Amino acid sequence: MRIIDTKQIEELVYSLALKAGVKMTEPCAAALKKACDIEEGAAKFALETILENKDVAFKEKMPVCQDTGMAVVIMEIGQDVHFVGELLSDAINEGVRRAYKDGYFRKSVCDPITRVNTGDNTPAAIHTEIVGGDKVRITFLPKGFGSENMSAHYMLTPSQGVEGIIDSIVETVRKAGSRPCPPVYVGVGIGGNFDTSAFLAKKALLKDVGYENEREDIRKIEREALKRINELGIGAQGFGGKVTALGVSCEVAPTHIAGLPVAVNIQCHCIRCEKGEI
Amino acid sequence: MKKLNLPLTKEDILSLHAGDPVLLSGVILTARDCAHRRIFECLDRGEKLPFDIEGATIYYAGPCPAKPGMASGSCGPTTSARMNVFAPRLYDLGLNSAIGKGEMSEEVKSALVKNRCCYFAAVGGAGALYGKAIKKSECIAFPDLLSEAVYRLEVVDFPVVVAMDAYGNSIYKNGK
């Protein structure tokens, strides 16, 4: 058994959040550069601006986007770990609270009905999974809502099959149009049930742009969906162009014989994601 | 790139066409969902607005807090479509233009044509660059809304693209 004080978790969440807010991931930046090279007109102007912004933000430690998001904290906890100290969720939220204050990040969390801001960007959306070993891995994803709002969930029937899955992915991006800050990254959860499919979609977004599923049949879905999305012609910021999505990433889990859940989680062009381990 | 000073004249607006890149300098006012709701409550009660809407440019945005020594934190545009329900009435009341990101509705398009106004797209996700183009920032209404309050921003060479012009043209491709 390994004892970990949750103060260490707070510190790790704090440092991951501070880094994530000002930095676009390298694979995302590389994909945007490639898109910029092949686009023209207003879409090219948008991509050039986005790439310049990324450099300015990182250099000056300013949030790369003012929507510093809802804090998504995904933890893989080794089952030989024993936590001591503050309650785990309190420690995580304290890390978020301090980072959003010290980083001059926007506080974007509010009551859903009164719309009164909680003032410190808490609570975070916290997911914990128990895994083998005695380590704790934390992924911090500041998720903006321009793109989150454009996500969708489908409870397909088994007979709709692969074609239904691809249609659902493409239709979600088509309907989102210019709103989620394209070119988008598309996380898809296939299978599981109503709730686990949504989390699979979120986890699919943690894969680097350019990643392909290890299963050949799933890779085919990813490639076909991406091809059809890019044929939509929406382009960067909706200004028209060849690149509407940087990639489609799928996560799969077994489902019920009666169903085929498909969750499509849209991520804007600015992927921010930091990982750490204790 | 074409440079224009705010407030825009009707001649300025009529010279703009969807797809034109423009650098804007002058005063813009931020307002997003909650601020719009408050503005409409004021109007519905017949009260005077806390700022002059005539000839104004509204920026659909909510900034990050400013670091010491800076006028503003990161401040890129938010999704304009959420303001579809508010924009036509404000154009009818004298609003000259708005800045945001993403396509707006047919009703907004009609209001732009009717009132000879235009809608600009800032580049979504370029928050740091826009923050640096802001030289002065002051909260002028609804401070309890924090980042969603109305801020009066003085901007210099704020890069935007004409997204929907006064002639009913739009830059957006719908993916149909």
Q: Which of A250, A236, A103, A235 is nearest to A186 (CA)?
A: A250
Domain boundaries, chain A: 2-21+64-143, 146-273
Rounded CA-CA distance B135/B91 in Å is 27
Helix axes A88-102, A6-22, angle to 10 degrees: 40
Q: Tell me yes or no: is domain A2-21+64-143 CATH 3.40.50.
A: no
pLDDT at B1: 86
Q: What is the 3-state secondary structure (H, E, C) of chain B?
A: CEEEECCCCHHHHHCCCCCCEEEEEEEEEECCHHHHHHHHHHHHCCCCCCCCCCCCEEECCCCCCCCCCCCCCCCCCCEHHHHCCCHHHHHHCCCCEEEEECCCCHHHHHHHHHHCCEEEECCCCCHHHHHHHEEEEEEEECHHHHHHCEEEEEEEEEEEEEEECCCCCECCCCCC
Q: A42 to chain B, minimum CA–CA distance in Å? A: 7
Rounded CA-CA distance A176/A170 in Å is 10
**Domain extent at residue B36:** 25-164
Contact A237 B76 (CB under 8 A): no
Contact B175 A49 (CB under 8 A): no
For residue range A213-226, list pLDDT tens digits in order.
Answer: 999 999 999 999 99
Q: Which CATH class is domain A146-273?
A: alpha beta
End-to-end C-alpha distance for chain B, whole angstroms: 31
Contact A235 B161 (CB under 8 A): no
User: Which residues of chain B does A111 touch, with a Cβ-Cβ cutoff of 8 Å?
Assistant: none
Q: A67 to chain B, minimum CA–CA distance in Å? A: 8
Q: Which of A96, A51, A29 is nearest to A69 (CA)?
A: A96
Q: Give a yes or no: residue B11 inside a domain.
A: no
Residue B150: which CATH number?
A: 3.20.130.10
Residues of B assigned a catalytic role:
36
User: Which residues of chain B does A46 touch, with a Cβ-Cβ cutoff of 8 Å?
Assistant: 123, 161
Contact B127 A57 (CB under 8 A): yes
Record the tokens describing residue A217, joined without a space. Answer: 């049949």
Q: Hey, of B64, B70, B158, which one would you mutate to test binding to chain A, going by the most A CBs within 10 A of its CB?
A: B64
In degrees, rounded to 5, the angle at the alpha carbon of residue A121 between the alpha carbons of residues A144 and A116 is: 100
For residue range A180-224, list pLDDT tens digits in order.
Answer: 999 999 999 999 999 999 999 999 999 999 999 999 999 999 999
For residue range B12-26, list pLDDT tens digits in order.
Answer: 999 999 999 999 999
In degrees, rounded to 5, the angle at the alpha carbon of residue A185 between the alpha carbons of residues A181 and A189 is: 130
**Is the bond leading into B77 cis (omega within 30 degrees of zero)?**
no
User: Which residues of chain B does A269 touch, with a Cβ-Cβ cutoff of 8 Å?
Assistant: 125
For residue range B100-143, list pLDDT tens digits in order.
Answer: 999 999 999 999 999 999 999 999 999 999 999 999 999 999 99
How many pairs of residues across A and B have Cβ atoms under 8 Å apart?
154
Asked if domains A2-21+64-143 and A146-273 share a fold, the reply is no
pLDDT at B176: 45
Contact B63 A106 (CB under 8 A): yes
pLDDT at B174: 58
Q: Which of B128, B132, B172 sits opposite A63 (nearest CB)?
A: B128
Strands in A260-267's sheet, in edge-to-edge order, are A152-156, A260-267, A184-192, A245-255
Q: Give a yes or no: residue B14 inside a domain.
A: no
Record the tokens describing residue B110, joined without a space. Answer: 């009609």
Beta bridge partners of A49: none
Record the tokens describing residue A71, joined without a space. Answer: 């804090």
Rounded CA-CA distance B61/B75 in Å is 7
Q: Which of B34, B159, B171 sits opposite A115 (nearest CB)?
A: B34
For residue A115, give Cα distances in angstroms to A189, B37, B145: 30, 11, 9
Please determine, for residue B173, whether its predicted confidence score (pLDDT) is greater than 70: no
- Search chain A and give the residue with CA nearest B64: A106
User: Which residues of chain A does B145 touch, with a Cβ-Cβ cutoff of 8 Å?
Assistant: 117
Q: What is the mean pLDDT of each run of 10 residues along chain A (278 residues)?
A: 97 98 96 97 95 96 96 98 98 98 97 95 97 98 96 98 98 96 98 98 96 97 98 96 98 98 98 97
Query: ipTM for the complex?
Result: 0.91
Contact B174 A177 (CB under 8 A): yes
Q: Give a yes or no: residue B59 inside a domain.
A: yes
User: Which residues of chain A does B75 touch, with a Cβ-Cβ cutoff of 8 Å?
Assistant: 66
Q: Give a yes or no: residue B37 inside a domain.
A: yes
Q: Are the beta carbons of B89 and B39 closer than 8 angstroms?
A: no
Helix axes A216-230, A161-176, angle to 10 degrees: 30
Q: A120 to chain B, minimum CA–CA distance in Å? A: 11
Restricting to B residues 39-58, those with a Cβ less than 8 Å away from any Cβ of A are: none
Q: What total of structural domains would you count in chain B?
A: 1
| Cβ-based burial of A90 (10 A; exposed 0-12, middle 13-18, buried ≥19) | middle
Look up the pTM and report it: 0.94
* Percent with pLDDT over 70 in chain B: 98
User: Which residues of chain A does B74 touch, with a Cβ-Cβ cutoff of 8 Å?
Assistant: 57, 62-66, 106
Q: Give a yes or no: residue B8 inside a domain.
A: no
Residue at token pair 């004080």: A5
